[in-house]
């Protein structure tokens, strides 16, 4: 058999590695800024782009799509070529993929800083970027499938299965969740409303964690852990079951984000059951990774790369045990809206994704530059800084979560709530400070890594095209033992992709069909009316400033929540909410029934300086809302788009909307005037007050 000569493309791998490191540092610094903002609200500098509500989406998007995203592509482009014994299908597609993805990240970060957001967590980017993501994702898929098709190795190693599964599932999730109707360039309203929007969003949110942060990284784990340990994976059979079990179960588990909501009871229970079932494949995968190192534990003591991998796998195990626990209703009742969620995701992000990426970088970059790592000691120091960082991050967060949740639920002997919301915040602020210390540890480790890798690179020589040779794939593939249907599909990547799509789509349908069957206006509440034009403007400001990152709009049917916030939220109250704004974290109190609780002047003073109304509040100031004017030219388009989405505005109302807006704005400006607060009625604060005063009033009893 003659050997074919070819060369692996290392240049794209190097680019993605640099991008992952660079964006990772930026994303982590944004996270540190957000963490500090909860301790020192003044660091928002009274400037919108540096305020928590905008920094936080920048942080989450940068870490997920820029740090981890580029990390995925780095690992895939390196391992796929070697597993297929073929160069990437097209250098041009690799280039388009790389630069396209970086352009999306840069535009995404910029647009989030500027306040362009859909208001849906982890899917905040607006519609032009959603389309760009779809196109670049297709380029990635074409390049990947093309490489698999021209491979020189008959069998597809399990890592490739994880890559294909990832590609298919993310494509489906992204497209379905991004259904939105554009209002203008960079502004759109979600196709879905209220309960449906929440379900689609959390179906997406949950599975984005599964198929962006988990399955591609498991693929990388199945390649790089055996590589670094220099021994094959502990059980290959196990890894196949791991793959199918994850694809099979993950997609069904989404409803666990919406316990105690209007979702049909059986769907909630199914979500919980499948979440519990997830422990089995997740732990199987973790053990498979850890057991690969059996007989190599002596090396783990010295080799920083293996240490990173061991902690990454352990964190994967912890996070995937904790996730199912959080999906139990009685645990969720305590954990939801608290810092427990934050701790949980950071075990995953800092431990699993972060440490696996660092391990791969330390292994990969010296190889790309055909040299040794500059300083092994520094890598070990990085390992300890990172581990300390994780510990200092998550323990204070767990502590804060338990403390605050217990305080929220505590009643006095007389049956009154024992603590004001702000008292519970003050109790946990020291924990927020400690968490920032953890972040500093973690980031200093990353900086040490960057220096170490830069030194490594400067003393090596880059091998852009790594020569390799392998025999061509024979036309008839030799069969080991009896031929089997699975062998058939293994050699047909396109069919495997289609098959995985069917598999995840069926799972997705099961979850989504009942959602759509819940009639959007059931249970009908006749008193629920569409927002007025001024309130719509106010709602857009609420979304733009990222208020949902700290405030929920969903009162659960618990005694303490009803006592604190008012009547619990009903599904029918949200039928005109495009998008929903239930939120997932209560750094501040719930706002579902804030309307009419305080006078207009209270909101005015509170937005100008929160501490004037709530001494010791950690909410930032929003002075720009008092200077900026709302864009009334957009009003007719807002009404038209909302009507298209099913909100019953009368025909022709768009022409009359601005007159109504003026009238309501004058009323609010007038009521402020009585309190000697002078503000132009066209300022954004007036619209925001209108929205805040409307919230939850439709069915207010008494």
Partner 1 sequence: MKFINYLQSITGVSIYPMISLVLFSLFFIAAAFWALKAPKGMVDHISNIPLDES
Q: Does 283 bind partner 1 (CB under 8 A)?
A: no
In the list 18, 244, 399, 653, the residue contacting partner 1 (rule: CB under 8 A) is 244
Which span (20-28, 57-65, 77-85, 117-125) binds partner 1, by CB under 8 A?
77-85
Q: Let me know: does 200 contact 515? Beta carbons within 8 Å.
A: yes
In the list 153, 609, 673, 682, the residue contacting partner 1 (rule: CB under 8 A) is 153
In the list 184, 291, 516, 527, the residue contacting partner 1 (rule: CB under 8 A) is 516
CB nearer partner 1, residue 413 or residue 517: 517
Q: Does 465 bind partner 1 (CB under 8 A)?
A: no
C-alpha 608/C-alpha 179 separation (Å) is 35
Q: Kindly calculate the radius of gyration of the chain based on its CA atoms and give it in whole angstroms.
A: 26
Q: Does 83 bind partner 1 (CB under 8 A)?
A: yes
The span from the first CA to the last CA of the chain, in angstroms, equals 87
C-alpha 434/C-alpha 358 separation (Å) is 24
Query: Across the strands, what pairs with 411?
Result: 417
Residues 290-329 that bind partner 1 (CB under 8 A): none
- Six token digits for residue 616: 């010791």
CB of residue 312 vs partner 1: minimum separation in angstroms? 18
CB nearer partner 1, residue 32 or residue 247: 247
Q: Does 248 bind partner 1 (CB under 8 A)?
A: yes
- Six token digits for residue 223: 């390649």
Which span (39-47, 228-236, 375-383, 554-562) binds partner 1, by CB under 8 A?
228-236
CB of residue 364 vs partner 1: minimum separation in angstroms? 14
- Six token digits for residue 224: 């790089």
> Length of the chain, please?
702
Q: Does 665 bind partner 1 (CB under 8 A)?
A: no
CB nearer partner 1, residue 237 or residue 329: 237
Distance of CA 409 to the CA centre of its chain: 29
Which span (28-36, 46-54, 369-377, 642-650) binds partner 1, by CB under 8 A?
642-650
Q: Does 74 bind partner 1 (CB under 8 A)?
A: no
Which span (240-248, 310-318, 598-606, 653-661) binds partner 1, by CB under 8 A?
240-248
CB of residue 465 vs partner 1: minimum separation in angstroms? 16
In the list 96, 240, 296, 613, the residue contacting partner 1 (rule: CB under 8 A) is 240
CB of residue 506 vs partner 1: minimum separation in angstroms? 4
Q: Does 205 bind partner 1 (CB under 8 A)?
A: no
**623 contacts: CB under 8 Å, gap ≥ 6:** 46, 608
C-alpha 59/C-alpha 345 separation (Å) is 13
CB of residue 520 vs partner 1: minimum separation in angstroms? 7
Query: Across the strands, what pairs with 4?
Result: 470
CB of residue 276 vs partner 1: minimum separation in angstroms? 16
Residues 494-513 that bind partner 1 (CB under 8 A): 503, 506-507, 509-510, 513
Q: Does 79 bind partner 1 (CB under 8 A)?
A: yes
Q: Does 203 bind partner 1 (CB under 8 A)?
A: no
In the list 5, 301, 475, 482, the residue contacting partner 1 (rule: CB under 8 A) is 482
Cis before 29? omega within 30: no
CB nearer partner 1, residue 458 or residue 524: 524
CB nearer partner 1, residue 233 or residue 425: 233
Q: Let me know: does 590 contact 555? Beta carbons within 8 Å.
A: yes
Q: Does 159 bind partner 1 (CB under 8 A)?
A: yes
CB of residue 337 vs partner 1: minimum separation in angstroms? 29
Q: Does 627 bind partner 1 (CB under 8 A)?
A: no
C-alpha 607/C-alpha 624 separation (Å) is 10
**413 contacts: CB under 8 Å, gap ≥ 6:** none
- Six token digits for residue 342: 């934050």
Residues 382-441 that bind partner 1 (CB under 8 A): none
- Residue 465 φ/ψ region, left for φ over 0, alpha for ψ in the -120 to 50 degree band, beta for the rest: beta
CB of residue 236 vs partner 1: minimum separation in angstroms? 4
Which span (122-130, 468-476, 594-602, 657-665) binds partner 1, by CB under 8 A?
468-476
C-alpha 497/C-alpha 161 separation (Å) is 9
Q: Does 5 bind partner 1 (CB under 8 A)?
A: no
C-alpha 571/C-alpha 642 separation (Å) is 19
CB nearer partner 1, residue 107 or residue 512: 512
Strand 180-184 relative to strand 187-190, pairing: antiparallel
Q: Does 157 bind partner 1 (CB under 8 A)?
A: yes
Helix H or strand E encompassing 182: strand 180-184
Q: Does 25 bind partner 1 (CB under 8 A)?
A: no
Q: Which residues of 172-208 are buried (b: 16+ CB within 10 A; e: fewer)?
A: bbbebbbebeebeebbbbbbbbbbbbbbbbbbbbbbb
Q: Does 168 bind partner 1 (CB under 8 A)?
A: no
In the list 95, 150, 231, 492, the residue contacting partner 1 (rule: CB under 8 A) is 231
Other residues' Cβ atoms within 10 Å of the Cβ of residue 432: 21
CB nearer partner 1, residue 519 or residue 700: 519
In the list 176, 241, 325, 464, the residue contacting partner 1 (rule: CB under 8 A) is 241
Q: Let me know: does 333 contact 558? Beta carbons within 8 Å.
A: yes
Cα four-point dihedral sign 410, 53, 556, 345: negative
The vertex-645 CA angle with 186 and 577, nearest 5°, equals 80
Q: Let me know: does 309 contact 289? Beta carbons within 8 Å.
A: yes
C-alpha 40/C-alpha 620 separation (Å) is 9
Which span (76-84, 103-111, 607-615, 619-627) binds partner 1, by CB under 8 A?
76-84
Which among 310, 338, 325, 314 is positioned nearest to 408, based on CA atoms? 338
Helix ranges restricted to H, 518-558: 533-544
Query: Across the strands, what pairs with 8?
Result: 466
CA dihedral 645, 650, 651, 653 (to 10 degrees): -100
Q: Count of residues binding partner 1 (CB under 8 A)?
A: 50
CB nearer partner 1, residue 410 or residue 469: 469
- Six token digits for residue 499: 């098959």
In the list 519, 529, 663, 674, the residue contacting partner 1 (rule: CB under 8 A) is 519
CB nearer partner 1, residue 240 or residue 613: 240
Q: Does 480 bind partner 1 (CB under 8 A)?
A: yes
Q: Does 477 bind partner 1 (CB under 8 A)?
A: no
Cα four-point dihedral sign 324, 327, 333, 337: positive
Per CB under 8 A, residues contacting partner 1 are 79, 82-83, 85, 153, 155, 157-159, 196, 222-223, 226-227, 230-233, 236-238, 240-241, 244-245, 248, 468-470, 480-482, 484-487, 503, 506-507, 509-510, 513-514, 516-517, 519-520, 644-646
């Amino acid at each position: 058999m003659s050997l074919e000569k070819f060369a692996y493309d290392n240049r794209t791998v190097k680019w993605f590695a640099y991008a992952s490191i660079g964006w990772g540092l930026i994303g982590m610094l944004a996270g540190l800024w957000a963490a500090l903002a909860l301790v020192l609200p003044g660091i928002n500098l009274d400037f919108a782009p540096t305020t928590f509500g905008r920094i936080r989406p920048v942080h989450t998007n940068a870490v997920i799509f820029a740090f981890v995203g580029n990390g995925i592509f780095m690992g895939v482009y390196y391992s796929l070529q070697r597993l297929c014994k073929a160069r990437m299908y097209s250098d041009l597609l690799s280039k388009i993929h790389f630069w396209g993805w970086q352009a999306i990240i840069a535009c995404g970060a910029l647009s989030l800083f500027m306040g362009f957001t859909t208001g849906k967590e982890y899917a905040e980017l607006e519609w032009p970027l959603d389309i760009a993501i779809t196109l670049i994702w297709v380029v990635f898929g074409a390049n990947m499938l093309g490489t698999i098709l021209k491979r020189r190795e008959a069998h597809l190693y399990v890592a490739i299965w994880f890559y294909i599964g990832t590609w298919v599932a993310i494509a489906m999730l992204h497209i379905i969740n991004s259904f939105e109707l554009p209002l203008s360039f960079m502004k759109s309203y979600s196709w879905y409303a209220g309960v449906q929007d929440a379900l689609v969003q959390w179906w997406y949110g949950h599975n984005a964690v599964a198929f962006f942060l988990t399955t591609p990284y498991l693929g990388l784990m199945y390649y790089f852990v055996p590589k670094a340990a220099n021994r094959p994976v502990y059980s290959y059979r196990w890894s196949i079951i791991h793959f199918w079990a994850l694809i099979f179960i993950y997609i069904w588990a989404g409803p666990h984000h919406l316990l105690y909501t209007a979702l049909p009871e059986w769907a909630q229970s199914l979500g919980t059951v499948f979440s519990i079932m997830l422990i089995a494949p997740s732990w199987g995968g973790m053990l498979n990774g850890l057991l690969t190192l059996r007989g190599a534990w002596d090396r783990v003591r010295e080799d920083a790369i293996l240490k990173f991998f061991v902690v990454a796998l352990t964190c994967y195990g912890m996070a995937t045990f904790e996730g199912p626990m959080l999906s139990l209703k009685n645990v969720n009742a305590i954990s939801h809206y608290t810092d427990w969620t934050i701790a949980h995701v950071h075990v995953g992000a800092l431990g699993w994704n972060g440490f696996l990426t660092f391990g791969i970088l330390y292994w990969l970059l010296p190889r790309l530059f055909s040299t040794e790592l500059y300083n092994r000691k520094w890598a070990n120091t990085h390992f300890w800084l990172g581990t300390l960082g994780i510990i200092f991050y998550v323990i204070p967060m767990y502590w804060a979560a338990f403390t605050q949740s217990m305080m929220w639920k505590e009643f006095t002997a007389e049956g009154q709530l024992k603590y004001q919301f702000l008292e519970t915040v003050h109790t946990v602020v020291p924990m927020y400070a400690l968490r920032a210390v953890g972040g500093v540890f973690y980031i200093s480790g990353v900086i040490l890594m960057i220096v170490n890798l830069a030194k490594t690179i400067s003393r090596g020589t880059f091998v852009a095209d790594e020569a390799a040779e392998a025999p061509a794939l024979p036309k008839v593939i030799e069969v080991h033992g009896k031929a089997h249907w699975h062998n058939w599909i293994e050699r047909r990547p396109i069919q495997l992709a289609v098959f995985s799509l069917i598999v995840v789509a069926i799972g997705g349908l099961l979850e989504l069909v009942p959602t759509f069957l819940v009639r959007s206006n059931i249970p009908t509440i006749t008193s629920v009316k569409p927002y007025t034009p001024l309130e719509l403007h106010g709602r857009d400001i609420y979304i733009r400033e990222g208020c949902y990152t700290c405030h929920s709009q969903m009162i659960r049917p618990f005694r303490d929540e009803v006592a604190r916030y008012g009547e619990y939220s009903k599904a029918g109250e949200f039928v005109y909410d495009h998008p929903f704004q239930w939120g997932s974290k209560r750094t501040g109190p719930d706002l579902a029934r804030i309307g009419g609780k305080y006078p207009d002047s209270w909101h005015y003073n509170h937005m100008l300086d929160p501490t004037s109304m709530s001494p010791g509040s950690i909410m930032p100031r929003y002075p720009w809302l008092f200077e900026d004017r709302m864009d009334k030219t957009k009003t007719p388009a807002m009404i038209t788009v909302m009507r298209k989405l099913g909100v019953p505005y009368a025909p022709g109302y768009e022409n009359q909307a601005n007159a109504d807006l003026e009238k309501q704005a004058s009323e609010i400006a007038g009521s402020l005037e009585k309190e000697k607060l002078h503000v132009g009625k066209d300022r954004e604060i007036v619209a925001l007050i209108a929205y805040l005063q409307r919230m939850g009033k439709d069915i207010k009893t008494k």
